[in-house]
Amino acid sequence: MNETTQTPATIVHGARIVSTRAAEHASIALDTDSALAIADGRVLARGDDEQIMALAGPDTELIDMAGRTVLPGFIETHIHLAHYGANLLEVDCRPTATDSVAAIQDALRAEAAEPSATEWILGWGWDESRMAAGAAPTRWDLDAAVSDRPVLLRRTCAHMAVLNSRALELAGITDYTPDPDGGRIVRDQSGAATGLVQESALNLIPLPAKTNEEVARGILLAQEQFLSRGLTTVHDMATQEPDLAALESLRGHGLRMRVRPWMWALDGNGFQGTLETVIERGWTSGTGDELVRIQGMKFMLDGSVGGRTAAVDEPYEDSADTGILIHTADEAAPQVIRAVSHGLRAAIHGIGDRAVDTAVEVLTRTAQQCPEAATMRNRIEHCALPSRDNLEQMAALGIIAASSVGFLHELGDSYLANLGPERMARVYPQADYAEHGIIAPPNSDCPVTDSNPWPIIDASVNRRSLSDQVLDTAQNISLARAVDGYTRQAAMASFEDGLLGSLAPGSCADFIVLDTDPFADGVDLRKVRVERTYVDGDCVFTR
């Protein structure tokens, strides 16, 4: 226990407090204690009950955990906060809510019958691989439910959407509209537009802008869920200015979890995002405070495996399709170099092996132009299929793999169907990342998959899908390393190691209380639940 003369405001005792640390031979060790002393939102000391209780003053609040397991608050390193918040105000088309085209049609009819101030009907979350017929909905399916108002339903991956005929009309999309650069308008065998649009073709759709109040309301709805899952800090990927404005408006008005925005820098179809605005305002990585702190810029290179738009070297199973590379290295590198040269870290979306290789090439060129890049912990988002050469280059350049290993749980079966067993054996290679010393915090990419960390931790440890299928046996990691990914390594992803993810003296008193000890024998990790969540020592969720 460290020495302190300050009287704690709160003491947590009778707990099994577990945190992680790097140990010899690249292993992960667990540190355990039974008590914490907290003051001013910080951990003052940790140790056994006798040591910590001796620090109590007459006004110290004592919280008896009755033997429950306490972990540092989890850090979600790739999530879409404002996007998911908006989704929660839209039609729920996830397989758990609508498992067939007929069910989607019923949901649309019900939504159309409700009074609305907007013309558009928006929905999200459909996944044809988990629907009864196994086929994506089309414009004609949507027209059968709603034909007089524009309808747009995003696929779970958010890289594809289906529109009804009215929405296609407003977007100016006909059977003869050419595919935009970096995108695709899906057509049937006769050449007719089916209503499905992919990647940069989504930018053709004239969706109405949301008000600050709508964005803020969605953020608070999403926060409620995230805190219930033990997420005390979230990295919001592809933040835009209205999202940042909504976050600022929520200071002192309900925002309790920490948010780490990555501003939207580069999309398809010539969209430049907020890079120039961020540079003009003098913002750099680290601008902000412990509640909201800008991290850098998000860049896009490809799509998703489920939608077969991730850029792969070899075709998808039973297909000649190799996905969509939205930008080449020649196109993306100047933008990334511009960001890094202005003190802004880069997070590059790359899922397929062709896109990951492009991302590594972009970051290699960036390091050649900007030597400071080697210590900036730039990131490749998702990073599903790195080659052995990529791994060595990433390790040499200090690149973080923001690994969406959580996809193996919800999307693993469709990954296997789309990629085949050989590629499946090296997808989201957590063991290889550890072997190469690459920081690789796991993530959900919510709303692409559910934000609950425990099925994701299970996927890291057991590599099994939603159907209980073991997808491979080569890339399993230990439970200690998986928890380390959500805590210590995740804190490193924002240069906040020592401040977050450890419960070390001096760090933020962000922690979670579990209903069971995940390290006990025989525990089904997918069923572990959070009972309470604390931020700065204050309880912000209780079940």
Mean pLDDT, to the nearest integer, of 242-250?
A: 96
Q: Is the pLDDT of residue 308 over 60?
A: yes
Q: Which residues contact 352 (CB under 8 A, 6 or more apart)?
A: 302, 305, 310, 311, 312, 313, 323, 384, 385
Pairing of strands 121-126, 151-155: parallel
Q: How many C-beta atoms surround the C-beta of residue 110 within 10 A?
A: 11
Q: Which residues contact 58 (CB under 8 A, 6 or more apart)?
A: none
Q: Which domains does the chain have, with CATH numbers?
A: 81-204 (3.10.310.70)
pLDDT at 222: 98
169, 149 in Cβ contact below 8 A?
no
3-state secondary structure of 234: strand
Tens-digit pLDDT profile for residues 376-434 = 999 999 999 999 999 999 999 999 999 999 999 999 999 999 999 999 999 999 999 99
Q: Is the pLDDT of residue 292 over 80?
A: yes
Q: Is the pLDDT of residue 46 over 90?
A: yes
3-state secondary structure of 535: strand
Q: What is the DSSP string of 87-106?
A: HTTSEE-STTT--SHHHHHH
Listed residue (525, 523, 456, 522) closest to 486, CA to CA: 456
| Tokens 């499905």 -> residue | 196
Could you tell me the two tokens for 473? 């046996």
Mean pLDDT, to the nearest integer, of 38-59?
A: 97
3-state secondary structure of 236: strand
3-state secondary structure of 529: coil
Q: Mean pLDDT, the chain, as a whole number?
A: 95
Confidence band of 116 (pLDDT split at 50, 70, 90): confident
E strands along 165-316, which residues?
183-187, 193-199, 231-239, 258-266, 296-300
Q: Is the pLDDT of residue 136 over 70?
A: yes
Tens-digit pLDDT profile for residues 140-150 = 999 999 999 99
| Tokens 């940790």 -> residue | 46
Q: How far apart are CA 486 and CA 501, in angstroms?
A: 8
Q: How far apart are CA 515 and CA 207, in angstroms?
A: 43
Least trusted range by pLDDT, from 171-175, 180-184, 474-478: 180-184
Tens-digit pLDDT profile for residues 316-373 = 999 999 999 999 999 999 999 999 999 999 999 999 999 999 999 999 999 999 999 9
pLDDT at 268: 45
What phi, psi does 168 have (nearest 5°)?
-60, -40
Confidence band of 266 (pLDDT split at 50, 70, 90): low
Bond before 180 cis per omega within 30 degrees: no
pLDDT at 265: 86
Q: How many C-beta atoms surround the C-beta of residue 421 within 10 A?
A: 10
Listed residue (82, 394, 406, 131) closest to 237, CA to CA: 82
Confidence band of 26 (pLDDT split at 50, 70, 90): confident
Mean pLDDT, to the nearest integer, of 294-304?
A: 96
Q: Is residue 342 classed exposed, middle or buried when 0-12, 13-18 and 19+ CB atoms within 10 A define those classes?
A: middle
Tens-digit pLDDT profile for residues 57-72 = 999 999 999 999 999 9
Q: Is the pLDDT of residue 117 over 90?
A: no
Mean pLDDT, to the nearest integer, of 113-122?
A: 88
Confidence band of 165 (pLDDT split at 50, 70, 90): very high
Q: How far apart are the first and last CA of the chain?
A: 31
pLDDT at 270: 46
Look up residue 27 and give its DSSP letter.
-
Tens-digit pLDDT profile for residues 471-528 = 988 999 999 999 999 999 999 999 999 999 999 999 999 999 999 999 999 999 999 9
| Tokens 């609040």 -> residue | 61
Could you tell me the two tokens for 244? 């940042």
Q: How far apart are CA 288 and CA 64, in angstroms?
A: 35
Q: What is the pTM of this model?
A: 0.92
Q: Give the H/E segment covering residue 3.
A: none
Q: How far apart are CA 460 and CA 442, in angstroms?
A: 8
Q: Is the pLDDT of residue 174 over 70?
A: yes
Mean pLDDT, to the nearest integer, of 113-134?
A: 88
pLDDT at 269: 42
Confidence band of 12 (pLDDT split at 50, 70, 90): very high
Confidence band of 1 (pLDDT split at 50, 70, 90): low
Q: Is the pLDDT of residue 267 over 80?
A: no
